[in-house]
Each structure stands twice: as structure tokens, then as C-alpha cells.
Homo-oligomer: A and B are copies of this chain.
Amino acid sequence: MSEPAARTHTLKAMAGPGKGGRYHHGHLRAALIDTAVELIGERGVRGFSLTEATRRLGVAVSAPYAHFADRDDLLAAVAVRAYELLYTELVPESGQVQPPADRLAAMARAYVRFAAANRPLFEVLHEAGLDKARHPEIEAAERPLTDAFLTCVRALSDGGDAAAQDLATAIEATAHGHAMLLLDDGSRQQIEAVELAAERTARATMALVASRHLLGRPAGRPGLA
């Protein structure tokens, strides 16, 4: 597997499972993000350390500080990339479909697929413990996605803004829950399991839409039960 080494500065694309990638100068910032994703995929977010990233890249432990304020700052950059990729995988996919209900189901399905196919990126979003107040870029990167989703929900909801919020929350929670359970589940990332979970998510979304009249709180009750 490992390379015979040498070749000083061909493209850095490697940095694979073996190691070897030793590319400095110029694109360290991007390389650090790549390596972070790689390491998170191997040891989880909580197991990620700047030190190990520099080891793998063959640079000095102090090198990252020329590009990131600290460890969390690097993780925040990973989170931004995650939201950007998530957007490109959710919105175009849902654009192909016409009825709003099916669009929502397609987005939910794509959400679960994204979580399975990009586990490290997905993990960063919810398990990194990032302080969003300190890293506004994250919410900025998230916004286009939630906007597209909410637009889609409103196009469907018939009971005003409160009803739209109820439906949106239910779908979000269901998709997120399916993704979490899939990732927690032993580890099996087999395509079968992923597609089963994705399909279940899509169907659950359709079910929620179909029974959306049950989601609202009874009028007259300001708070709730």
C-alpha cells in the first residue's frame, strides 16, 4: 500500500491511509483541513488533535498556528466545509422533484446518505462541541441550507407559520435521528444499511407530511399540554 516515497512535490492528493504525504508550503491550510477530516474519520472528533495532524503531514507542531488560531478554529473550518457540501448534496437533489412533499422526502433521504458517506464531516457538526458564538462562520454556512428547507416546508404547510415550524421540526428531528441511529449502530456502513435507513427516513417524512394536521398544538392553548 505505502508508496515507494520520494517525489518531493507532486500533487499532494495522497496523504492516504498509509501516511507519507509530505507536502508543505502554500497550501498547508487546505492540507490541514483534509488531514483533519481524515483523522476524524479514524479516531472520531474527540480523538482528533492538532499534534497528530502535524505529525501526519510532516510539518512542525507550530505550523498550524500560522493559519488557525487554535484547534477549535480548525474544526470550525471543517464544519464550514461540511455545511457547504451538505448544501450541494441536498438542494440540487431536491430540485429535481416537484411536489413539495417529495422534495422534503428527498432532502431527508439525502441528509442520511450524507451522514453515512461523510461521517467525519457529519460528526464535526454535532460532536465537536464548537462554540458557535465564537465561530459565526458556521452559522453563516448553515443558513442557505435551512433557508431552502424552510422554503420547502412553507410551500406545503397549510396552517400558517406555527404549523410550518411544527412540521419543519418534526422532519428535522426525524432525519437527524435516523442519521444518528445509523451511525451509532455498531459501525456498519454497508450500503444496504445506509439505503435502508435513508429510505425509512424518506417514508417517515412522507408519513409526517400526510399527518401534519396532528402536529399542531390545539388552538387556544398558548403554551402546551
- Chain A interface (Cβ < 8 Å from any Cβ of B): 44, 46, 126-127, 129, 166, 169-170, 172-178, 180-181, 184, 192, 195-196, 199-201, 203-204, 206-208, 210-212, 214-217, 223-225
Contacts and interface: CB of A to CB of B under 8 A. Distances in A.
B207 A129 contact: no
Contacts of A173: 174, 177-178, 180-181, 200-201, 204
A106 to B, nearest CB: 11
> SS class of chain A's interface: helix, strand, loop or mixed?
helix
Given A207-B214, A214-B207, A225-B199, A178 B177 contact: yes
Given A172-B181, A207-B214, A223 B192 contact: yes
A180 B170 CA distance: 12
A171 to B, nearest CB: 9
Contacts of A181: 169, 172-173, 176
Nearest to A176: B177
Nearest to A109: B225
A173 B214 CA distance: 18
Contact of A203 (B126, B129, B196, B215): B215
Contacts of A207: 170, 207-208, 211-212, 214-215
A206 B214 contact: yes
A212 B215 CA distance: 15
A200 B196 CA distance: 25
Closest 5 CB pairs of A and B: A177-B177, A173-B177, A207-B211, A176-B177, A173-B178
A174 B169 contact: no
Given A177-B180, A195-B225, 9 more contacts: A166-B203, A170-B203, A173-B178, A173-B204, A177-B177, A177-B178, A203-B216, A204-B208, A208-B211
8 contacts: A126-B184, A172-B181, A173-B178, A173-B201, A174-B177, A199-B225, A203-B217, A211-B211
